Amino acid sequence: MTNSVPNTAVKLEDVVCTFGIPPKETRAVDHVNLEIKAGEFFSLLGPSGSGKTTCLRLIGGFERPSAGKISLFGTDASRLPPYQRELNTVFQDYALFPHMNVLENVGYALMVRGVAKTERVKRADAMLEAVKLTGFGMRKPAQLSGGQRQRVALARALVNRPKILLLDEPLGALDLKLREEMQIELKALQRGLGITFIFVTHDQGEALSMSDRVAVFNNGKIEQLDSPKALYDSPRTEFVARFVGSANVIPGNLIGRTGMYALRPENIAVLEGSQIGANRLQGELLDIHFLGSLTRLEVRVGNECLTTMQSTSPTFERGARITLEWQDSSLRKLEEAV
């Protein structure tokens, strides 16, 4: 075998994307390097304005890189228009064609390629069945609910069997229950089809629960690229520690060390009163939030406010003096900001 299928679906090399005219330009994507494997569920996670959506749009061909190279399955695609790229996109606003019915929307990719009508209808119908919308073919997008539109957008993007599917915050407009259902369905669909999914989201829970790997974006750069577990357990920077799972970031001088440290709220135990000792801090209980299975405590230590999660409801009152305690192994030293 000399010419095996490339294992890398998408490769970004030193990609830069700037908007605006020089004095007022903004660098939306700043020297990003990224390699996404074929068949992977890959998420781009970050707050709004972090460059994750621009990055997806660069892969889709809706933006041109100012510098750098984008390859799809080993071939340079940096200058290819979207219609020459072998990938499809589920847009944030779904972008369904309002003047076409559901069947015409789903069959659009086949129609523009000149697939005969009977074949087109057959494949579009099959796709609608796959997203559980059998019988909705004759409706216009305006007659559908948000969740149904989302499924139509998915069916439309998958009908031509792309090797890569880009999803731009596809669940953002759905309510919580529907979103959780769709997360499970999307993950199952991706496993079943074996397609590379590139998923943009600002919801860290969504990214962690669905992805094989996650790239955390901040200010146009990737702060960390890791598996969800590694991201959660070993955040490399303060930003990742705070954004993924809202860890406490403790300045070293508070605990007699140098640098910054991350400490997960659920890795902190609470003791009554002020107790001195190693891996302990004393503080004042500011607030108690009952969250159902867990209770969150806000504690002021010096000038810092730390949070801790407790599985049993504590007996302390607000304003009480308490002590926080943790295992040495729970403490993660963070890298200096880039």
Partner 1 sequence: MTAPKTRGSFLGRALGFLHGRPVLGLVLLLIAPLLWMGIIYLGSLLNLLFYSFYSLDDFTGQIKYDLTLSTLQQLFTSSSNIDIVQRTFVMSIVVTLACALIAFPIAYFMAFHTKGNTKAIWILLVLLPLWSSYLVRVYAWKLILAKEGVISWFLNALGLHGALDWILGFPVIGGTSLSSSYLGMFLVFVYVWLPYMILPIQASLERVPKSLLQASSDLGAKPAQTFWRVLLPLTVPGIAAGSIFTFSLTLGDYIIPGVVGAPGYFIGQMVYTQQGNAGNIPLAAAFSLVPIVVIGIYLAVAKRLGAFDAL
Interface contacts to partner 1, rule CB under 8 A:
60-62, 81-83, 87-89, 91-93, 95-99, 108-109, 111-113, 156-157, 160
Residue the block writes with tokens 């520690």: 241
CB of 54 vs partner 1, minimal distance in Å: 14
CB of 20 vs partner 1, minimal distance in Å: 12
CB of 58 vs partner 1, minimal distance in Å: 13
- CA-nearest of 164, 149, 154, 153 to 72 is 164
CB of 85 vs partner 1, minimal distance in Å: 8
CB of 154 vs partner 1, minimal distance in Å: 13
CB of 83 vs partner 1, minimal distance in Å: 5
Residue the block writes with tokens 């019915």: 101
**What gap in Å lies between CA 39 and CA 197, rounded to an integer?**
7
**What gap in Å lies between CA 103 and CA 165, rounded to an integer?**
20
Evaluate whether 88 touches 109 at the Cβ level (below 8 Å).
yes
CB of 255 vs partner 1, minimal distance in Å: 49
Q: Which is nearer to partner 1, 161 or 321 (CB)?
A: 161
Q: Which is nearer to partner 1, 108 or 243 (CB)?
A: 108
- CA-nearest of 82, 211, 91 to 150 is 91
CB of 94 vs partner 1, minimal distance in Å: 8
Q: Which is nearer to partner 1, 144 or 157 (CB)?
A: 157
Query: Encoding tokens for residue 47?
Result: 């707050």
Q: Which is nearer to partner 1, 111 or 286 (CB)?
A: 111
Q: Which is nearer to partner 1, 77 or 281 (CB)?
A: 77
- CA-nearest of 159, 137, 139, 140 to 99 is 140
Q: Which is nearer to partner 1, 172 or 252 (CB)?
A: 172
Q: Which is nearer to partner 1, 41 or 108 (CB)?
A: 108
Evaluate whether 44 touches 97 at the Cβ level (below 8 Å).
no
Give the contacts of 132 (CB within 8 A, at least 6 positions apart): 151
Q: Which is nearer to partner 1, 155 or 208 (CB)?
A: 155
